[in-house]
Each structure stands twice: as structure tokens, then as C-alpha cells.
Amino acid sequence: MSQSVTTQTEQGLYINPEALTAHLPALHYQNDALHMEQVSITEVVKHYGTPCYVYSKQAILAVYQAYTDSFASLNHQICYAVKANSNLAVLGVLAQAGAGFDIVSRGELMRVLAAGGEASRVVFSGVGKTYSDIEYALNQSIGCFNVESISELTLINDVAKALDKSAPISLRVNPDVDAKTHPYISTGLKDNKFGIAHEDALVVYQQAAKLSHINIVGIDCHIGSQLTEVEPFVAALDKVIELVHSLGKVGIELRHIDLGGGLGVRYIDETPVSIDEFANALLPKLSKLGLTVFFEPGRSIVANAGILLTQVDVLKPTEHKNFAIVDAAMNDLIRPALYQAEMAVIPSALPNNGIDTEGTQPWDIVGAICETGDFLAKDRLLSLATGDVLAITGAGAYGFTMSSNYNSRPRASEVMVADDRHQLIRKRESIEALYADEVLWQG
């Protein structure tokens, strides 16, 4: 009988660790000890300390494979969105599996190349590409620029002309579709800064067709992140298909259609549409088009392949609230502070008294940063002692990549596991490195 993942009581939210991990293929408890693949978390902490991000290689590859299997009937290219997790080891594993990449900066392109990715399988998104970004990308012969404005289009043409090259482009169309997600990560509405309004796109394509050093290859759209329903994707696709037909009528033929990323994941007990359901909803429409289809998934590939490990340093019960001060903070994982994201916090060792709300107390899991917004979870029923190691699940996406050095805190180490092996893939930053490039005023 399957146990329920959450129990909400008046005091707080209880997350059953075994029921939660039953939904997370990378994680399981063995003899009451949390394991990722065959590696015990205690072993990881012994080697690398905390805070530490840990990623499962198999979990990353399994989702990548699920995408390729679900769209096997079409010519397609999965361009993993590097911003979700840009560690070279993660990029390398995906590059070896044949992935392309979606990038938004020269830095991300350099990472992809350093990890063995192919420039020809890269799409370059982002609203503020600079002359030197474009120049670098053209010199690397990247696959496509996803163009977000007319001024960017002219800039790309100018750079391509100066280099005597032809720039492959798509226009990123803003379809004005509500992605029904957190407003900060919704990108396909008129009010958002992204893309070219779908009403204007035909005219802009016609302008692009007249530019000497522009080669129109596709059309693109990305409406937001952590979408749990399929309807907004379908609504956006319908608008893009309408445009593909209008473009055909004026003699502009495309090679690919790029539907962006955005598929949501289950953090605690959300029920996002599965990759299969997503594919089934889109395939009938896509297969009629005869175009290669690109996707740019980020979160869905890496979120549940990763955890953030943190140790309880101080327990501070007060009359009103109990605070567990841990060694990770908002600088390590900003999603709870920035989006009020609810992420699961589970023990690395199950308490002896079994797992239910018995013996637990409500805790706010907070960092040591001088901000009231510095929390990782609030009102969670847990049984805690100083020195306990906790795992924050779903932390593989937009975790390390959004981390900072606020309060002069070095960024966490990162580890990858595969089967029974673990390997450091980024060493913990040293404190000296934080100010190594700073210079005293010479006065």
C-alpha cells in the first residue's frame, strides 16, 4: 500500500521520507540510510563535507532518454538548458549522450565547448546578446540564434557581415499565453520582456529575409518554467503553427520549430504532466509540420537528479518558532527565498522511532545569513538533533547555478555519483578565492 507523501497538521507539514523517495528514482533508503544510486550519503558527507550538491548521473540520463524516446517518431534535437545546471560534468554526460544545448551567454557556450558539446547543436537564447557574444558564437559556428528583438536581428546581421558569415536564426515568438506558473518565471505573456509579439512576427521575418547575412532556419517559443499542465504548451504551439503556415505563404520556409523548455517537476506532491503525456499532446500537431523539432528542457532533466546536503549547526527553539540553523543558506539555494518554492527536506538517516509525525516538532530550516528571507523551508515536522545531515531534494536545477557569495560565503562543493562511485565535480570554493581578484585602494 502506498503511503501518502505529506501530512499537513496544525503545527506544520510532515513529509514522509520513504514515500517521497519512492517518486525519486535516484534516491532510496537502505537500512534507514539515504542513498543516491548505490552510494550512501554518509559516505559522501565523510568525503566532501557540507553544504554539498550531489547529482545522479543515471537520473540525468534517464530523463534525457525519456525525451528522446517520447519524440522518437520525429526528427528532433534536445537542447538541454544550461542555466539549470552548468557544471562541466553534467554538460559532459549530456554531450556524450548526444544532447544539444540552449545557452544564454558566452560563458555558457564556453562551458558547453569545454565539456565536449558540439557548437552546431547549440541554440543561443536571451534578450541581451552583445556584439562580442554574437561574434564569439558565430566564430564557433553555433546552430542557431533565437532572436528576441528587431535591434538584435540587425546587430546579428552587422556582426555576421563584419565576419563575412551567414548567421542562422529563429525568431523567438511571444505567443501571449499564460503558462500558469510563478510570475517570476513566466516568459510568454505580452508583459514579459521575452520574444517578439506573435502579431508582429510575420513582418519581422519578412524584414529578416531581406538582410544580407541572415539565414532564417527556424521559429522558437518558450513560455515559462515549472509548467505542470499541458494546455499552455498546446496553446503556444497552435499560435506558432499558425505563423509557420503564414510564413510558408510568403515563401519563408523553415527547417525547425523550437518549443523551448518549461516542463515542470514534482518537488513534493505536485502532479506535473509526464514527458510521455507532453509528447502525446504535441506529436499529432508536430508530425503534420514536417519540421525538425527542438526542445530546451532544463529543470525536468536535472532537478530530481540532485540534492543539497546540509548539516544542522544550531537548534534554536523559541516560544513562537523553532529554528534549525543549517550550514546551507539562501546563497546556496535561493529558490525558497525568491519564489517561495516549497522543497522537501528529508533526513539522511531515518530516526529510530520510525517515520511518522510522532516525535517530530515543527522547524523552520534557515541559514546563517543576515536576512529574514534566508530560509530553506518553513514549518516542517522533523525530528532533529545538532549534527544531523539533511537532504533538500529537487535541488539539481537552479540550485548551484543561482548560488552566490553573499555574506562572503564560499560556494558549495558538487559531487556526481554513478552506480557505487562518487566523484568531486567541483571543489568547495576557498574563502581566499572570494577576494583574490580584489585590489586595495592605492592611496
Ligand X SMILES: Cc1ncc(COP(=O)(O)O)c(C=O)c1O
Q: Active-site residues: which are they?
A: 370
| Residue window 11-40: x/- pattern of binding to ligand LYS, with contact defined by CB under 6 A | ------------------------------
Q: Count other Cβ atoms within 10 Å, centred on residue 321.
A: 13
Instruction: Return the closest-CA partner of residue 291 out of 42, 16, 14, 76.
Output: 76
Q: Which residue has the cell 519581422?
A: 204
Burial class from Cβ neighbours inside 10 Å (0-12, 13-18, 19+) for residue 387 reads exposed
Q: For residues 115 and 303, which CB has a smaller minimum distance to ligand LYS in the complex?
A: 303
Calculate the alpha carbon distances from 435 to 368, 405, 429 in Å: 20, 10, 11
Q: Encode burial over 264-279: b for 16+ CB neighbours within 10 A, e otherwise.
A: bbbbeeeebbebeebb
Beta strands 361-366; 375-382: pairing state: antiparallel
Residues 238-267 touching ligand X, rule: CB under 6 A, are: 260-263
Q: For residues 12 and 260, which CB has a smaller minimum distance to ligand X in the complex?
A: 260
- Maximum distance among all Cα pairs of the chain, rounded to whole angstroms: 73
The correct pick among 225, 348, 360, 403 for binding ligand X (CB under 6 A) is 225
Does residue 125 interact with ligand LYS by CB under 6 A? no
User: Half-sphere exposure of residue 182, counting CA atoms within 13 Å on the CB side?
Assistant: 13
Does residue 226 interact with ligand LYS by CB under 6 A? yes
Residue 125 · residue 103 · CB < 8 Å? yes
Residues 372-411 touching ligand LYS, rule: CB under 6 A, are: 398, 402
Q: For residues 86 and 348, which CB has a smaller minimum distance to ligand X in the complex?
A: 86
| C-alpha to C-alpha distance for 173 and 237, rounded to whole angstroms | 11
For ligand LYS, the nearest residue by Cβ is 398
| C-alpha to C-alpha distance for 39 and 205, rounded to whole angstroms | 52
Does residue 268 interact with ligand LYS by CB under 6 A? no
Calculate the alpha carbon distances from 225 to 4, 176, 180, 265 in Å: 27, 15, 9, 10
Local structure of 113: helix, strand or coil: helix
The correct pick among 76, 121, 129, 222 for binding ligand X (CB under 6 A) is 222
Q: For residues 81 and 324, which CB has a smaller minimum distance to ligand LYS in the complex?
A: 81
Q: Count other Cβ atoms within 10 Å, centred on residue 340.
A: 12
Angle in degrees, CA 434, 102, 283, rounded to 5: 145
Q: For residues 258 and 374, which CB has a smaller minimum distance to ligand X in the complex?
A: 258
Q: For residues 86 and 310, which CB has a smaller minimum distance to ligand X in the complex?
A: 86
Residue 102 · residue 79 · CB < 8 Å? yes
The correct pick among 87, 157, 225, 403 for binding ligand LYS (CB under 6 A) is 225
In angstroms, give the least distance from the CB of 191 to ligand LYS.
15
The correct pick among 85, 105, 157, 300 for binding ligand X (CB under 6 A) is 300
Q: How far is CA 144 from the centre of its chain?
A: 21
In angstroms, give the least distance from the CB of 294 to ligand X.
10
257 binds, among ligand X, ligand LYS, none (CB under 5 to 8 A by kind): none
Does residue 108 interact with ligand X by CB under 6 A? no
432 annotated ligand binder: no
Residues 322-381 touching ligand LYS, rule: CB under 6 A, are: 335, 339
87 binds, among ligand X, ligand LYS, none (CB under 5 to 8 A by kind): none
Residue 82 · residue 106 · CB < 8 Å? no
335 binds, among ligand X, ligand LYS, none (CB under 5 to 8 A by kind): ligand LYS
In degrees and rounded to multiples of 5, residue 251 shows phi and psi of: 85, 15
Local structure of 96: helix, strand or coil: helix
262 annotated ligand binder: yes
In angstroms, give the least distance from the CB of 373 to ligand LYS.
15
In angstroms, give the least distance from the CB of 341 to ligand LYS.
7
297 binds, among ligand LYS, ligand X, none (CB under 5 to 8 A by kind): ligand X
Q: How far is CA 231 from the centre of its chain?
A: 21
Does residue 81 interact with ligand X by CB under 6 A? yes
| C-alpha to C-alpha distance for 127 and 131, rounded to whole angstroms | 13
Determine the size of the site formed for ligand LYS (CB under 6 A): 8
360 binds, among ligand X, ligand LYS, none (CB under 5 to 8 A by kind): none
299 annotated ligand binder: yes
Q: For residues 12 and 264, which CB has a smaller minimum distance to ligand LYS in the complex?
A: 264
Binding site for ligand X (CB under 6 A): 81, 84, 102, 125, 187, 222, 225, 260-263, 296-300
Q: Which residue ranges make up the site for ligand LYS (CB under 6 A)? A: 83, 185, 225-226, 335, 339, 398, 402
Q: Which amino acids are annotated as binding site for substrate, given as ranges?
A: 299, 335, 339, 371, 398
Query: Annotated binding site, which residues?
Result: 262, 296-299, 335, 339, 371, 398
Question: Residue positions in the annotated binding site for pyridoxal 5'-phosphate?
Answer: 262, 296-299, 398
